[in-house]
A and B are shown apart, each in its own frame.
Chain A
Amino acid sequence: TQLLEQSPQFLSIQEGENLTVYCNSSSVFSSLQWYRQEPGEGPVLLVTVVTGGEVKKLKRLTFQFGDARKDSSLHITAAQPGDTGLYLCAGNNQGGKLIFGQGTELSVKP
């Protein structure tokens, strides 16, 4: 069974701080996707990383895929209250079915 361990599960920080969320697995994924979800809404795709070692940037968010395609990280620089939400990583097991991490509940206080 493929598992994706996401950490931390809860994070409460002040506006302006930096943070990193990690997703780790013993399995290789063909790609990994990061989503952000707000209460009462569906997850919104932020990025897909496909190549081992790949780094993608989305404004203040930096996503990295591990060289072996088993792990990924999301780094947020100078967090803002608008970044508050549930962040989900999900690995693609080549069949199109996603394996989700446990999620990281981020709260950014002004």
Chain B
Amino acid sequence: GAVVSQHPSRVICKSGTSVKIECRSLDFQATTMFWYRQFPKQSLMLMATSNEGSKATYEQGVEKDKFLINHASLTLSTLTVTSAHPEDSSFYICSAHKGRTPDYEQYFGPGTRLTVT
């Protein structure tokens, strides 16, 4: 298998502040990581693809200046929610794949519950 960790698991912040979420691949190197957002009882919504050493690719409708992504090493990607608002409250999940074999299986972190007050 493959282990992906996220930190913190839960965070509460005040409106207008910024929050950083870390995603780490613990036992493999990941040139590509993904960031998702999930609302209760719903499926995952892809926000962006994070590539090591280059700019992230954002999905349509996701504000890149609000959700800053940095993939500084082969084992770490960070998502910073800037100037957070209550509507940013959600469950954020990252994933990583180990490459082409077998066909880009993705391994998910445990998620981060963000609450903006």
Contacts and interface: CB of A to CB of B under 8 A. Distances in A.
Chain A interface SS verdict (over half): strand
Interface in B78-114: 91, 93, 95, 97, 102-111, 113
B111 A40 contact: yes
A105 B34 CA distance: 23
Interface of A: 6, 30-31, 33, 35, 40-45, 48, 50, 86, 88, 90, 92, 96-98, 100-103, 105
Contact of B46 (A6, A35, A86, A97): A97
A31 B46 contact: no
Contacts of A105: 41
B77 interface: no
A14 B113 CA distance: 31
B102 A41 contact: no
Contact of B43 (A33, A42, A50, A103): A103
Contacts of A50: 102-103
Given A96-B32, A96-B97, A97-B49, A45 B105 contact: yes
Chain B interface SS verdict (over half): strand
Contacts of A45: 105-108
Given A101-B43, A103-B42, A105-B41, A92 B107 contact: no
A24 to B, nearest CB: 15
Interface of B: 4, 6, 32, 34, 41-44, 46, 49, 91, 93, 95, 97, 102-111, 113
Which has the most chain B C-beta neighbours within 10 Å: A50, A100, A101?
A100
A60 to B, nearest CB: 21
Nearest to B36: A100
A40 B113 contact: yes
Contacts of B110: 41-42
